[in-house]
């Protein structure tokens, strides 16, 4: 067999011409809730490399957008439009996932056709098995049972969602050969460099709003020694300030409460981390918030802030920049503040500039961080820009990602199958 050297199959291992190929991508993108406009199409562009390589196949694209209850939890019709524009070839949006009209459309596909199915998370099954490790449960969902008999191959290109155990990400491994797409392969290759034992010190800068994921990953990173230091910022930094018993002020607390469905549990977890690894976790020394329409900075001793905290202050920027200068590996996930407002983009801009100028191997993850890097025109100075946020930091923390385990399982099952290129 002309098999790949990897533990998983790649698209080069098979002849995919005229075959029905289901491609799971992650085109979860920032969307303006009012206009429905896609604000950043970075992920969409990346996956087109995989889609272009499947020009002679019948391509069914499967994806999700946001989470139930969020403002940008939308249908995927605008994603299909954007794909069509960039690709210069039609990507047809089909309003459904496995309904009879969808199955009929799949049966009528010709080589070269590309269809994008509906937001997989519109179907409760996709999210209801959250964290379920038993892959047969995912396999037995209607989504998988209805689609699997219609396809020849399943390509997983959704590195950015690889840390999620959900039917469309892990349910197909026993049923058809699962192959890593081009984005998946590049991510795994480039990021594996971070595991070199010769690189030290390694720092992770965790910001943005996915505080639950970040705290979880920080714990794993410190527990396994994958990282030497964690620098907290964004909402993550604010939760750590709360864990240090600082009163950050009512506006910020209610914002976190709303975003994360409560703060208590997060603060307790953050406290445990500080108790155990206090000298390896850095927490902002000063913060910026809005007062009378202007940016105001106060040190953490002067808290509470009368307005919502939206950035880190200058002392923190200088302190974190020194860590950046001394690091050999820097992993960043999430911005330092509300960078979309000019007055509150300073922390993120300054830190990202320091990273771009540092000698360290730099990995940036998360849609928002990537958007900032592009806006600042710093992409060429970053070693790896990951399509993933949570997936990127979980991978670098040394965690087994369910979607990658699933690719590996599929190779073990189908390695002796009749499908390979000879
Ligand atoms: C991401 O944007 O990190 C992925 O699409 C996963 O999204 P989720 O955190 O909503 O599962």
The CATH fold assigned to 196-385 is: Rossmann fold (3.40.50)
- The pLDDT assigned to 6 comes to 85
Instruction: Pick from 27, 28, 72 the residue to mutate for probing ligand 1's pocket: most ligand atoms within 8 Å of its CB.
Output: 28
3-187+401-414 to CATH, choices 3.40.50.1260, 3.90.950.10, 2.30.40.10, 3.30.70.141: 3.40.50.1260
Percent of the chain at pLDDT above 70? 98
Which residue blocks in 250-345 are alpha helix, DSSP H? Answer: 250-260, 264-277, 314-326
- Ligand 1 nearest-atom number relative to CA 64: 5
| Predicted confidence (pLDDT) at residue 1 exceeds the cutoff of 60 | no
Question: Is the confidence at residue 2, as pLDDT, over 50?
Answer: no
What pLDDT is stored for residue 34 in this prediction?
84
Distance 161 CA to ligand 1 centre (A): 6
Mutate to test the pocket of ligand 1, among 29, 62, 63, 64 (most ligand atoms within 8 A of CB): 64
Measure 391 CA to ligand 1 centroid, in angstroms: 8
User: What does the pLDDT read at residue 418?
Assistant: 59
pLDDT value at residue 366: 82
Q: Do domains 3-187+401-414 and 196-385 have the same CATH topology?
A: yes
Distance from C-alpha of 270 to C-alpha of 243, rounded to nearest angstrom: 6
pLDDT in tens, 266-281: 999 999 999 999 999 9
Strand partners for 9: 179
Average pLDDT over residues 19-38: 93
Note the pLDDT of residue 422. Answer: 46
> pLDDT tens digits for 86-105?
999 999 999 999 999 999 99
pTM for the whole structure: 0.86
pLDDT tens digits along 315-366: 999 999 999 999 999 999 999 999 989 999 999 999 999 999 999 999 999 8
Q: Whose CA is nearest to atom 7 of ligand 1?
A: 161
Q: What is the pLDDT of residue 392?
A: 93
3-class SS shares of the chain: helix, strand, coil, % to 5: 45, 15, 40
pLDDT tens-place string over residues 62-87: 999 999 999 999 999 999 999 999 99
What is the overall mean pLDDT for the chain?
A: 94
Q: Where are the domains of the chain?
A: 3-187+401-414, 196-385
Percent of the chain with pLDDT over 90: 85
Report the pLDDT value the prediction gives residue 4, as an integer from 0 to 100: 59
CA of residue 107 to ligand 1 center, whole Å: 31
Cβ–Cβ < 8 Å for 231, 320: yes
Where helices occur in 286-399 by DSSP H, the ranges are: 314-326, 346-357, 367-375, 390-396
pLDDT of res. 417: 67
- What is the per-residue pLDDT across 37-50, written as a single tens digit (0 to 9) for each? 998 898 999 999 99
CB under 8 A, 24+ apart: contacts of 188-193: 188/6, 188/159, 188/395, 188/404, 190/363, 190/383, 190/384, 191/363, 191/384, 191/386, 191/392, 191/395, 191/396, 193/361, 193/384
């Amino acid at each position: 067999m002309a098999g790949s050297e990897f533990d998983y199959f790649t698209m080069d291992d098979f002849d995919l011409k005229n075959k029905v190929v289901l491609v799971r991508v992650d085109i979860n993108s920032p969307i303006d809730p009012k206009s429905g406009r896609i604000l950043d199409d970075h992920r969409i562009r990346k996956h087109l490399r995989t889609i272009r390589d499947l020009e002679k196949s019948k391509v069914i694209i499967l994806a999700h957008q946001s989470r139930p209850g969020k403002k940008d939890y939308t249908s995927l019709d605008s994603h299909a439009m954007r794909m069509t524009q960039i690709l210069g070839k039609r990507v047809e949006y089909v309003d459904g996932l496995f309904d009879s009209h969808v199955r009929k459309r799949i049966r009528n596909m010709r080589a070269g056709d590309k269809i994008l199915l509906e937001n997989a998370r519109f179907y409760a099954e996709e999210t209801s098995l959250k964290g379920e490790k038993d892959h047969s449960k995912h396999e037995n969902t209607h989504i998988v049972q209805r689609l699997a008999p219609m396809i020849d191959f399943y390509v997983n290109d959704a590195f950015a969602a690889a840390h999620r155990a959900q039917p469309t990400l892990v349910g197909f491994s026993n049923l058809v050969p699962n192959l890593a797409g081009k984005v998946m392969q590049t991510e795994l290759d480039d990021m594996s460099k971070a595991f070199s034992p010769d690189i030290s010190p390694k720092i992770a800068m965790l910001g943005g709003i996915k505080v639950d994921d970040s705290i979880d990953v920080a714990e794993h990173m410190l527990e396994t020694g994958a990282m030497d230091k964690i620098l907290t910022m964004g909402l993550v930094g604010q939760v750590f300030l709360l864990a240090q018993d600082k009163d950050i002020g009512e506006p910020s607390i209610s914002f976190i409460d709303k975003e994360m469905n409560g703060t208590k549990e997060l603060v307790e977890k953050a406290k445990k981390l500080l108790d155990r690894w206090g000298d390896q976790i850095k927490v902002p020394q000063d913060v910026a918030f809005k007062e009378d329409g202007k940016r105001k900075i106060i040190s953490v001793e002067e808290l509470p802030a009368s307005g919502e905290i939206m950035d880190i202050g200058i002392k923190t920027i200088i302190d974190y920049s020194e860590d950046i200068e001394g690091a050999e590996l820097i992993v960043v996930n999430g911005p330092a503040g509300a960078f979309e407002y000019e007055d509150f983009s300073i922390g993120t801009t300054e830190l990202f500039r320091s990273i771009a100028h540092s000698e360290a191997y730099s990995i940036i993850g998360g849609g928002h961080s990537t958007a900032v890097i592009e806006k600042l025109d710093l992409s060429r100075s970053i070693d790896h820009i990951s399509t993933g946020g949570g997936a990127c930091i979980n991978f670098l923390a040394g965690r087994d990602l369910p979607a990658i385990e699933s690719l590996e399982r599929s190779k073990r099952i189908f390695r002796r199958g009749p499908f390979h290129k000879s």
